[in-house]
Amino acid sequence: MKSSTPSSVQIPKVLTIAGSDSGGGAGIQADLKVITALGGYGMTVITAITAQNTLGVTRIQDIDLDVVEAQIDAVFLDIGVDIVKIGMLASPEIVRTVASALKRHGAKTIVLDPVLRATSGASLGGDDTAQAMIKDLFPMASLITPNLEEAGLLLGREIEGVKDFKMAAEELLEMGPQAVLIKGGHLDASHTQLTDFLMWRTIEDSLEVVQSKEFKHYRVNTLNTHGTGCSLSSAIATYLADGHDLAHAVAKAISYVEAGLEKGCFLNIGEGSGPLWHMHDFYPTALPEEEGKY
């Protein structure tokens, strides 16, 4: 039996439900780095194991449904969860299993990153998976965070530019989530300034009101962008669990990822798209070769 202590420290408890990235730059591994860096306690439900590095994904092995469910039960029944972040769910069956378990445990705040493609372009979930997300998870989600390609897959049409963000967000919001963040990082490289677009529902004087906000920031000139989507959604989740309101949590998460990209520009990890530097607040900036290199 645990001995009681005079006082205890409460920190945000964040559960990430996602795939494992053997290269360490995205997925569960990135989520845990972000949650820890931002002062939270990270817990995991692994939905798939990927053979993955900076060059791409070569194999995916889904975890058995009963094992996925057992992981969720184990965390909720003992430790408890302040917020759930969901990433890669590689099949409709896993989507339904996760949705059912979260409903059973009464999960209240869910950040859903509808991961359907890796940075390398590899498919991490087909149209059936996307439709299952829309049906079973969107109505439960406090926030969804699709990039341009994912938003296009969910809506069945291409999102061509910033001018399309508002209409796309409205249509995604109608699918059930409480808020939508469309990420503009996949705009072509000619866009030196990027726009992320947030739209959310709120209640004012007993009436539902829809609000929106643009977040403009510059494109960091780096090839080390692996795991940016996972990192952003995990940062938003951790800031929300720490008590920040939605717009402030999104703004702080964007700044965190931007700093990770800036300070990870010179990381020399792998031959392809390397990771951002998640621990930039705690360890020195990665420097060019002539000044010392990680």
Examine the residue annotation and report whether 87 is marked as an active-site residue of this protein.
no
pTM for the model: 0.91
Q: In sequence order, which ranges of 79-147 are alpha helices (DSSP H)?
A: 92-104, 127-132
Examine the residue annotation and report whether 183 is marked as an active-site residue of this protein.
yes
Nearest-angstrom CA–CA distance, 165 and 159 = 7
Domain that holds residue 67: 13-291
Q: What share of the chain is helix, strand, coil (3-state, %, to 5)?
A: 35, 25, 40
Per-residue pLDDT of the chain (294 residues; tens, 9 = 90+): 555 555 678 899 999 999 999 999 999 999 999 999 999 999 999 999 999 999 999 999 999 999 999 999 999 999 999 999 999 998 999 999 999 999 999 999 999 999 886 555 555 667 899 999 999 999 999 999 999 989 999 999 888 888 899 999 999 999 999 999 999 876 666 667 889 999 999 888 788 899 999 999 888 888 899 999 999 999 999 999 999 999 999 999 999 999 999 998 888 899 999 999 999 998 866 555 544 444
Q: For residues 227 and 257, is the Cβ–Cβ distance under 8 A?
A: no
Which residues have CB under 8 Å from 188's CB, separation 6+?
A: none
Q: Does a structural domain hold residue 120?
A: yes
The torsion angles phi and psi of 187, rounded to 5 degrees, stand at -60, 150
For residue 128, give the amino acid letter.
Answer: D
The pLDDT value recorded for residue 255 is 96
Report which DSSP code applies to 11. Answer: -
Q: For residues 141 and 112, is the Cβ–Cβ distance under 8 A?
A: yes
Q: How many domains does the chain have?
A: 1
Which candidate in 228, 260, 263, 265 is catalytic?
Answer: 228
Would you tell me how many other CB atoms lie within 10 Å of the CB of residue 218?
11
Q: Does a structural domain hold residue 8?
A: no
Q: Does a structural domain hold residue 6?
A: no
Q: Does a structural domain hold residue 7?
A: no
Which candidate in 25, 87, 125, 229 is catalytic?
Answer: 229
Strands 41-53 and 13-21: parallel
Examine the residue annotation and report whether 265 is marked as an active-site residue of this protein.
no
Q: Does a structural domain hold residue 1?
A: no
The pLDDT value recorded for residue 290 is 46
Which candidate in 227, 260, 264, 274 is catalytic?
Answer: 227
**Which of 156, 239, 151 has its CA nearest to residue 199?**
151
Which candidate in 54, 109, 225, 238 is catalytic?
Answer: 225
The pLDDT value recorded for residue 46 is 98
Query: Hey, which residues does 180 pair with through a beta bridge?
Result: 144, 199
For residue 158, give the amino acid letter.
Answer: E
The pLDDT value recorded for residue 293 is 41
The pLDDT value recorded for residue 9 is 82
Q: In sequence order, which ranges of 79-212 are alpha helices (DSSP H)?
A: 92-104, 127-132, 148-155, 165-173
Examine the residue annotation and report whether 24 is marked as an active-site residue of this protein.
no
Examine the residue annotation and report whether 108 is marked as an active-site residue of this protein.
no
| 197: its two tokens | 């677009």
Q: Does a structural domain hold residue 4?
A: no
Residue burial 142-153, b: 16+ Cβ < 10 Å; e: rest:
bbbbbbbebbbb
Q: Does a structural domain hold residue 221?
A: yes
Which candidate in 42, 152, 230, 238 is catalytic?
Answer: 230
Would you tell me how many other CB atoms lie within 10 Å of the CB of residue 122?
13
Query: Hey, which residues does 14 pair with through a beta bridge?
Result: 42, 83
The pLDDT value recorded for residue 292 is 44
**Which whole-number Å values give the CA distances from 157 to 126, 147, 152, 160, 188, in the listed order?**
15, 13, 5, 9, 17
Domain at 197, CATH number? 3.40.1190.20
Examine the residue annotation and report whether 216 is marked as an active-site residue of this protein.
no
Q: Does a structural domain hold residue 2?
A: no
Which candidate in 13, 33, 85, 183 is catalytic?
Answer: 183
Radius of gyration of the chain (CA): 19
